[in-house]
Structure 1
Amino acid sequence: MREPKIILTQDLVKLIAEIDEFKGRWDALKTLSPDRLDALRKVATVESVGSSTRIEGAKLSDAQVEELLSNIKMQSFNTRDEQEVAGYAEAMDLVFQAFDDLRLTENHIFQLHQTLLRHSVKDERHRGGYKTLRNDVVAFDADGKELGVVFETATPFDTPRDMEVLVAWTRKAIDEESLHPLLIVAVFIVQFLAIHPFQDGNGRLSRVLTTLLLLRAGYVYVPYASLERVIEENKDLYYKALRRTQTTLKGEAPDWEPWFGFFLRALKKQKDSLAKRLDREREQESADDALPELSMQILALFKAHERLTPAAIERELGANRNTLKVRLRELVEAGRIKRHGKARATWYTRG
């Protein structure tokens, strides 16, 4: 791996400055109650899990992802999509809980890959280990027929050496602060995906590692807004930017600008989305002062419960059933809680 020679355009410099300004203001911005911050994080987690798995071909909607995650401890995962969702959620949870201790090492990358594919039956043989077969990026037509190789990844023989070099460069760059942290993350990710070190799960793992590196670099607001959702919404641009940079990596002067541009703009959209959500939540907190007492009691129940049925709420609060129905309907219409199911099978979650 050559030492990157990077010259930034004025637009990219402005993007970095804007993202860093938000990072610096985060402590002042997160003035919401812990409950509301926790709710924001749960929404972002569902969006991240859903988007990252759909980018790779899964079909589960956010609502289906949310329901699966609410039962994750008691559920077996029968379909490939469910297995991938469960694995991604567990890998992200590991990063959120332990990022301070997860320094970038090959062993930690193996650990995250193992977690990511933990529930994937077809990946059992190769989870947590580098690839043994070629996995070049290929194109398919509408009928699923292979059209040809789009990008040649590292060979299985070269992969261990290439990953050792990439991890060593990244750690050295972080320790010596030789580049801005966001550029170090961007270089690592585009190189990681060019190597494509594992037989499967490389795209999903790259997004888990992005979150890990951003958290370790001090961008601690990342769990509250989904970068994966931004990528899913701009998937064509994502792949084009990757390919435009990756096809130049073996040349004398790699063209970093396509990938840097996409990556930094995605981070900007992520923080802009979070800023808007924070504004909405502050407005909602102000509106809470006008809520009826029973409505506040209903919302308080969701601090201890992921999901509640009308009967459970009635039992907990001892409220009049008809009044309770009115307050539940008002909270659903206001977006404070979500209704699932119908008639006697109705249940609610936090909005």
Structure 2
Amino acid sequence: MIQTSTLQITPEILALVAEIDEFKGAWRALGTLAPERLSALRRVATIESIGSSTRIEGSRLSDREVEQLLSNLEIQSFGSRDEQEVAGYAQLMETVFASWQEITVTENHIKQLHRDLLRFSDKDERHRGEYKTTSNSVAAFDAEGNQVGVVFETANPFETPRRMAELVDWLDQAQQGELHPLIAIGIFVVVFLEIHPFQDGNGRLSRVLTTLLLLRAGYAYVPYSSLESVIEQSKEGYYLALRRTQGTICTEAPDWTPWLTFFLKALQRQMRRLRQKVERERLLLAKLPDLAIQILDHARDHGRITIADAVTVTGASRNTLKGHFKTLCERELLVLHGQGRGAWYSLP
């Protein structure tokens, strides 16, 4: 059984929960941007999430390559395992964003989500949607995709069905009790990863489940800022927090604090990034001419922009656009790379 009687809500954890909940309440006002602006924020966040979550597990695809792959997703023919994993993650994310209200966290739904996550993965065809049948362990990977060591051992296949049933039952009770949703989600995720119920895809599925649970708990801003990219940028801290807590989960006095502190700090960074983006959007919409906003939109959606791109997108003359690019650089809203014909611009 999951033991939470030793759970300690430290002042730091309490402050993190309060700040995240304050933003949750403020999102109704902050999220009143035009639909196309929200759509642009969500698209960027989705690409970042897919790229980061698959890279954490060893993929080598950049966000740019992920974006190119998503633009041809309807082809459903992928040349590498990395592409197969990205395609499955992308489609599952869209399913969660579209149907989170109908997806309760049951064992059957978790298995269905796992099946959909690996739908394009040839290597995983035999075990997708089913609990593991052989032992597995959590490994860490370097930037080149090479395994650099085992992070921790996981539940054995024999005890996995029982422990998953206990975890889902615990979550259901926690959601009906007095435990704060963010604390309950954090504990669910760390226990899920300690069990590691599937042969492969557990890390990616844990991040999808995190998004699903946050949406079901009322954190409606989640699709517009990537939690996965925050975790990717804090990967050492991620594995360290997991190891510290997961080594105690099966004891009489689990230490939830290391993981919950990391998890809530990641949610805090996710929230603060979105708050900054929304404030930036409001500033731009209030003070920038339409041509300048179109330039920034293209740079945000595609990662970069040239003057030739801007001519195509806006239909304006090169001379007119050069003035806008100069102003945007002076205001530190764009960064110039290179010179002459090879010059291009990106967001700071």
Q: TM-score, normalised by structure 1?
A: 0.83
Cα deviations by residue, 1:218-270 (Å, 9 ceiling, x for unpaired): 00101111110110010000000011000001111000100010001111111
CA offset at residue 39 of structure 1? 0.6
Please give the alpha-carbon distance, in whole angstroms, between the structure 2 residues aligned to 1:145 and 1:56.
Answer: 10
Q: Are the equivalent residues in 2 in contact too, given 1:95–1:212 (CA < 8 A)?
A: yes
Q: Are the equivalent residues in 2 in contact too, given 1:113–1:127 (CA < 8 A)?
A: yes
Please give the alpha-carbon distance, in whole angstroms, between the structure 2 residues aligned to 1:100 and 1:232.
Answer: 28
Residues 208 and 138 of structure 1: is their aligned pair in 2 closer, same or farther, counting only changes over 3 Å? closer
1:93 partnered with 2:94: yes
Aligned residue pair count? 338
Please give the alpha-carbon distance, in whole angstroms, between the structure 2 residues aligned to 1:209 and 1:118.
Answer: 17
| 1:19 equivalent in structure 2 | 20
| 1:206 equivalent in structure 2 | 206
| 2:250 equivalent in structure 1 | 250
Cα deviations by residue, 1:1-52 (Å, 9 ceiling, x for unpaired): 2341222111111111111111011101113111111111111111101110
1:22-33 to 2 correspondence within 5 Å? 22-33=23-34
Please give the alpha-carbon distance, in whole angstroms, between the structure 1 residues aligned to 2:199 and 2:49.
Answer: 22
Please give the alpha-carbon distance, in whole angstroms, between the structure 2 residues aligned to 1:262 and 1:324.
Answer: 48
Please give the alpha-carbon distance, in whole angstroms, between the structure 2 residues aligned to 1:14 and 1:298.
Answer: 39
Secondary structure of the 1:151 match is strand
Secondary structure of the 2:73 match is coil
1:184 partnered with 2:180: no
| 1:264 equivalent in structure 2 | 264
- One-letter amino acid of the counterpart of residue 84, structure 2: Q
| 1:347 equivalent in structure 2 | none
Residues 125 and 30 of structure 1: is their aligned pair in 2 closer, same or farther, counting only changes over 3 Å? same
Cα deviations by residue, 1:115-147 (Å, 9 ceiling, x for unpaired): 111111111111111111110235789996886
Bigger shift: residues 75-84 or 260-269 = 75-84
Cα deviations by residue, 1:167-225 (Å, 9 ceiling, x for unpaired): 11101211x23310001101110100010000000000000000000000000101111
Please give the alpha-carbon distance, in whole angstroms, between the structure 1 residues aligned to 2:309 and 2:62.
Answer: 27
| 1:346 equivalent in structure 2 | none
Please give the alpha-carbon distance, in whole angstroms, between the structure 1 residues aligned to 2:255 and 2:312.
Answer: 63
| 2:106 equivalent in structure 1 | 105
| 2:163 equivalent in structure 1 | 162
Secondary structure of the 1:32 match is coil
Q: Are the equivalent residues in 2 in contact too, given 1:15–1:264 (CA < 8 A)?
A: yes
Bigger shift: residues 319-328 or 127-136 = 319-328
Q: What is the root-mean-square deviation in Å for CA atoms of aligned residues?
A: 3.7
1:1-351 to 2 correspondence within 5 Å? 1-5=1-5, 6-74=7-75, 76-137=77-138, 150-174=151-175, 176-288=176-288, 291=289
| 1:340 equivalent in structure 2 | none
Q: Are the equivalent residues in 1 in contact too, given 2:3–2:253 (CA < 8 A)?
A: no
Q: Are the equivalent residues in 1 in contact too, given 2:55–2:61 (CA < 8 A)?
A: yes
Please give the alpha-carbon distance, in whole angstroms, between the structure 1 residues aligned to 2:318 and 2:277.
Answer: 33
| 2:302 equivalent in structure 1 | none
Please give the alpha-carbon distance, in whole angstroms, between the structure 2 residues aligned to 1:61 and 1:217.
Answer: 31
Please give the alpha-carbon distance, in whole angstroms, between the structure 2 residues aligned to 1:44 and 1:22.
Answer: 18
Cα deviations by residue, 1:279-334 (Å, 9 ceiling, x for unpaired): 1111111234xx3x7778899999xxxxxxx99999998x5776797699789979
- One-letter amino acid of the counterpart of residue 189, structure 1: V
Please give the alpha-carbon distance, in whole angstroms, between the structure 1 residues aligned to 2:292 and 2:178.
Answer: 54
Q: Are the equivalent residues in 2 in contact too, given 1:294–1:327 (CA < 8 A)?
A: no
Q: Are the equivalent residues in 1 in contact too, given 2:20–2:271 (CA < 8 A)?
A: yes
- One-letter amino acid of the counterpart of residue 181, structure 2: P
Secondary structure of the 2:253 match is coil
Please give the alpha-carbon distance, in whole angstroms, between the structure 2 residues aligned to 1:199 and 1:153.
Answer: 11
Q: Which runs of 5+ in 2 are unaligned?
A: 300-306, 335-340, 342-346
Q: Which runs of 5+ in 1 are unaligned?
A: 303-309, 337-342, 344-349
Secondary structure of the 2:197 match is coil
Q: Are the equivalent residues in 1 in contact too, given 2:58–2:141 (CA < 8 A)?
A: no
Q: TM-score, normalised by structure 2?
A: 0.84
Q: Are the equivalent residues in 1 in contact too, given 2:42–2:223 (CA < 8 A)?
A: yes
Cα deviations by residue, 1:39-87 (Å, 9 ceiling, x for unpaired): 1111111110111011011111111111211221135211111111111
Please give the alpha-carbon distance, in whole angstroms, between the structure 2 residues aligned to 1:222 and 1:140.
Answer: 27
Secondary structure of the 1:73 match is helix
Secondary structure of the 1:18 match is helix
Please give the alpha-carbon distance, in whole angstroms, between the structure 1 residues aligned to 2:3 and 2:76.
Answer: 47
Bigger shift: residues 164-173 or 72-81 = 72-81
Aligned-pair identity (%) = 55
Please give the alpha-carbon distance, in whole angstroms, between the structure 1 residues aligned to 2:93 and 2:224.
Answer: 12
Please give the alpha-carbon distance, in whole angstroms, between the structure 1 residues aligned to 2:64 and 2:328.
Answer: 15
| 1:305 equivalent in structure 2 | none
Please give the alpha-carbon distance, in whole angstroms, between the structure 2 residues aligned to 1:238 and 1:301.
Answer: 33
